[in-house]
Amino acid sequence: MKKNWITALLLLFSLAVSTSNAAEYLNGIKWKSPAIVTPGQTDAMPPSDAVVLFDGSNLKGWKNGENWTVKDGVAYSGRGKITTLESFGDCQLHIEWKAPEPVKGSGQGRGNSCVFLMDRYEIQVLDSYENETYHDGQAGAIYKQTPPAVNAMRPPSQWNSYDIFWTAPRFDDQGKLVSPAYITAIHNGVLILNHFELKGDTPYHRPPAYNAHPPTGPISLQDHGNPVGFRNIWVRPFKSAEGEQVRDPYIKNGDKETPIQP
Ligand code: MG
């Protein structure tokens, strides 16, 4: 019995010692304090640091915006594509769109538009609700490169949303590709593209290719002859957290610091 007590006490003692001397991993990075961003009233609404591209009032921030129709807070595609005056690189883009009613046409002829990142990388906008077409050309496809993982389309009377997370491609001074573009996209709350690596731009008539371009570019919306409605468009330029490696990573245990060998 006495032996059990001693064992219990010893256990408690060693636990206390190990807790007070707990080893901690420290990465040696001095992080900048992340900026404060006030979220929108809902996750679909622009946060405080967003650039609002269309809030329902006008298309003044877009080249050729005067040739689209804005009615009751909705912008309808028509008479050429529209292109933002501002340029963006890595970003988070929110956009809502609605296929035309009454439903007309089929395949690529039904509710066709698209979002171009950097004016050349296309994520398809199409009425893909009960509408067959080639899969790498349906809504949410990276045109001619990949279909969306699933079809999360709502019927034509309802609004769709895309939340797009874009990593711009990088080129060196000679115009050689250093890293490709990546896209993650959520359609109506459903993940449809997960860090998809683009093979280049997305033309109809030739294979995808990377041609060097500036680190930022405008966002454009296509006019494919169908009056697709758009609303609530905003974008946030994205920059990862910043920090400086001020020393090598180490383990801290009480006063003892042990560098971690790479
Ligand atoms: Mg299109």
Report CA(142)–ligand 1 centroid distance (Å).
10
Q: So what's the pLDDT on residue 261?
A: 79
Confidence of residue 150 (pLDDT cuts 50, 70, 90): very high
Integer Cα distance of 256 and 78 in angstroms: 69
Report CA(239)–ligand 1 centroid distance (Å).
29
Mean pLDDT across the stretch 59-65?
A: 98
pLDDT (tens digit per residue) in 70-89: 999 999 998 999 999 999 99
Confidence of residue 262 (pLDDT cuts 50, 70, 90): confident
Report CA(125)–ligand 1 centroid distance (Å).
5
Burial class from Cβ neighbours inside 10 Å (0-12, 13-18, 19+) for residue 97 reads: buried
- Cis check for the bond before 102: say yes or no (omega within 30 of 0): yes
Residue 27 in this model has a pLDDT that exceeds 70: yes
231 Rama sector, left if φ>0, alpha if ψ -120 to 50, beta otherwise: beta
Report CA(172)–ligand 1 centroid distance (Å).
31
Integer Cα distance of 165 and 149 in angstroms: 16
Report CA(114)–ligand 1 centroid distance (Å).
4
CATH architecture for residues 51-237: Sandwich (2.60)
Report CA(180)–ligand 1 centroid distance (Å).
22
Q: Where are the domains of the chain?
A: 51-237
Confidence of residue 144 (pLDDT cuts 50, 70, 90): very high
